[in-house]
Amino acid sequence: MKIELASSYGFCFGVKRAIEIAQKYENSATMGPLIHNEDEINRLKKDFNVGLYSQLSDVKPDDTVIIRTHGIPKNDLKELKKRVKKVINATCPFVTTPQNIVKNMSKEGYSILIFGDIEHPEVKGVKSYADDLDDVHIILSVHDLKNIKFKNNKIACVAQTTKKKETYLEIVNALILKNKEVRVFNTICDATFENQDAARDISIKADIMIVIGGKSSSNTKQLHSICLENCKDSYLIENEQELEISWFKDKEFCGITAGASTPDWVIQKVYEKIKSFKP
Amino acid sequence: MKIELASSYGFCFGVKRAIEIAQKYENSATMGPLIHNEDEINRLKKDFNVGLYSQLSDVKPDDTVIIRTHGIPKNDLKELKKRVKKVINATCPFVTTPQNIVKNMSKEGYSILIFGDIEHPEVKGVKSYADDLDDVHIILSVHDLKNIKFKNNKIACVAQTTKKKETYLEIVNALILKNKEVRVFNTICDATFENQDAARDISIKADIMIVIGGKSSSNTKQLHSICLENCKDSYLIENEQELEISWFKDKEFCGITAGASTPDWVIQKVYEKIKSFKP
């Protein structure tokens, strides 16, 4: 069986940067999981004693606290700065961009549309920067627009950095037809584009696709859904332990891709285990 | 044979308004054709002695000059105001909007994209309002984008008021994927939308379509192209004299639509002549 990695996969700029920051601040703690990858978080704990808080109320005054790549809501950041000695911001710069856009556009009197998952920490953070929180609308598809009442006919749009560009265009197109001005900010991350395009290319050729990444990682789930469009035997796994030998029976071409928060050492282990199944 | 008018057709707000202005100023002259309809321009000449200048150099100091619905370039307007006693602006308010947008966006440092016909007077006028004329780009389709170098990665887009919305979306979608910010102004006129939608609806049912309007009228040509998509026997005529009885042989349903600058009295004559062919 041929085993091939997508031409672009895995760690993006923001994740690499956040991990470097965490490694630099030994004995610190992150506010929420630094990235959506449990194996890597366990490694940071083991090798650098980087802890993890899930609630603001748990922090202690002497802590050094690292803001996760996805960012946190504006008021949480303010509160955190009051409570601890040192706050290190590892928010991905590509997430800071939509935070600033929402802040400025809301101030300029635009209604805000966020294309993203209302429960995702990045989206919660981005939303929090609006002046008028009642005029920020978060949707996942063009169909959700019918339930929305904007306060203005000037709309500013941002997207969660890891979302699918095609769906974003569907949404902004519908808005353009019904509003005088739509200000479209392309906040989808290039790394996401590249991984998505490469996943599409390889999944067309493969008869089995292995997508490696956290089950709660938005961009990994996106990759999985793209692969499923072209290759029905596409599996999402977090690490090599989830691989099942039966998946590979009669397969001739195994494609591999990985989400933006999947470390190379996890990908390597998956690759080797697959190879051991069918040398 | 059944003869039916589209549910929306003919004169738009801007044209009606311009004709009312012209009728109010007897013995005036327009700078360029007031609207794209020769028959109506002849009527204004005959009934109200409204003349027509094609060049700025022809005006005389005592003239009252009316600006056409499509507007004129900024510097021409300035020059005209120097040369004549009275300038009356009959520019359609829906054309003044993109003029102002281009002026403001250019000042704010946006590259400008105009979706429209480079030779159309409206587009020439809209373009003229930019501060940096070298960073205004006029295109007719998404394919033209490949030849364009924007100076900024912030693009502001306007459309000629009478263009097809689907093509506009194709263009802005391509821009959104390649630029950080695309500010999309929906300057396509609602009346154009309505006439286009109604033309689509009736041309699906008809086996012959008559589209009435000036041969140089952009919105009339647009209606003709929409009708041709659904009904191969679609004819563009300026008035009843161009009708040919042979077109109607074996036809059972004749649909009629008319451009935004086609007066009702022209439509009425066409309707009656078709009826006389097949009572």
Is this complex scored with an ipTM above 0.85?
Answer: no
Please identify which residue in the block is written with the tokens 């749009």.
A157
Identify which of A143, A154, A258, A128 has the alpha carbon closest to the alpha carbon of residue A198.
A258
pLDDT band of residue A186 (cuts 50, 70, 90) is very high
Q: Quick one: tokens of B6?
A: 């589209």
> Which pair of tokens denotes residue B257?
């639509």
- Mutation test of the interface with chain B: which of A164, A172, A173, choosing the one with the most B Cβ atoms within 10 A? A173
Q: What is the pLDDT of residue B185?
A: 98
Alpha helices in A84-164 (DSSP H): 93-107, 121-127
Cβ–Cβ under 8 Å, residues A256 and A1: no
Whether residue B180 and residue A182 make contact (CB cut-off 8 A), yes or no, is no
In whole angstroms, how large is the CA radius of gyration of chain B? Answer: 20
Quickly tell me which residue has 């311009």 as its tokens: B18
Contact by Cβ (8 Å): A161, A192: yes
For B236-259, the pLDDT digits (tens) are 999 999 999 999 999 999 999 999
Task: Give the pLDDT confidence of A128-152 residue by residue, as tens digits.
Answer: 999 999 999 999 999 999 999 999 9
Environment class of B253 (CB within 10 Å of its CB; exposed 0-12, middle 13-18, buried 19+)? middle
What is the SS3 assignment for A212? strand
Q: Which helix (H) or strand (E) holds B132?
A: none
Query: CB distance A181–B177 less than 8 Å?
Result: no
Q: Cβ A165–B172 below 8 Å, yes or no? A: no
Binding-site residue positions of B for dimethylallyl diphosphate: 36, 70, 120, 217-219, 261
Find out whether B267 and B39 touch, Cβ atoms under 8 Å: no
Over residues A217-233, the pLDDT tens digits come to 888 999 999 999 999 99
Instruction: Pull the structure tokens for residue B185.
Output: 């102004």
Q: Of all helices (H) and strands (E), which one includes residue B90?
A: none
pLDDT digits (tens, 9 = 90+) for A154-176: 999 999 998 988 999 999 999 99
Strand order in A234-237's β-sheet? A2-5, A253-258, A208-212, A234-237
- pLDDT band per the 50, 70, 90 thresholds, residue A193: confident
Chain B residue with the nearest C-alpha to that of A174:
B169
Q: Which residues pair with B194 in a beta bridge?
A: none
> Between chains, do A177 and B165 touch, taking CB under 8 Å as contact?
yes
- C-alpha span between B5 and A75 (Å, rounded): 60
- Span A2-18, pLDDT tens digits: 999 999 999 888 999 99
Q: Which residues contact B218 (CB under 8 A, 6 or more apart)?
A: B36, B117, B120, B122, B160, B162, B163
Residue of A100, A176, A187 to mutate when probing chain B, most B C-beta within 10 A: A176
Average pLDDT score, chain B: 95
Full strand arrangement of the beta sheet holding B234-237: B2-5, B253-258, B208-212, B234-237
Q: What one-character DSSP code corresponds to residue A243?
A: -
Show the tokens assigned to B96: 């003044």
Helix (H, G, I), strand (E, B) or coil at B248: helix
Residues A127, A136: Cα–Cα separation, whole Å = 7
Candidate from B179, B184, B186 with C-beta closest to A186: B179
Identify all chain A residues contacting B180, using CB atoms and an 8 Å cutoff.
Answer: 185-186
Residues of A with a known catalytic role:
122
User: How far from chain centre, in Å, is Cα B87?
Assistant: 22
* CB–CB contacts below 8 A, A to B: 46
Q: Name the amino acid, one letter, at A233.
A: D
What angle, rounded to 10 degrees, do the helices at A218-230 and A190-205 form? 30
Among left, alpha and beta (phi > 0; psi -120 to 50; other), residue B27 is left
pLDDT band of B119, cuts 50, 70, 90: very high
> Band of the pLDDT at B216, cuts 50, 70, 90?
confident
What is the set of active-site residues of B? 122
Name the pairing type of β-strands A29-31 and A136-139.
Answer: unpaired
pTM, entire model: 0.81
Report yes or no: A57 and A69 within 8 Å, Cβ to Cβ. no
Q: Over 90: is that where the pLDDT of A210 sits?
A: yes
- From CA A267, how far away is CA A5, in angstroms rounded? 10
Inter-chain contact B184–A176, Cβ cutoff 8 Å? yes
User: Does B278 score more than 80 pLDDT?
Assistant: no
Q: What is the pLDDT of residues B172-198, one digit of tens each?
A: 999 999 999 999 999 998 887 889 999
| B263 Cα to chain A: minimum distance (Å) | 28
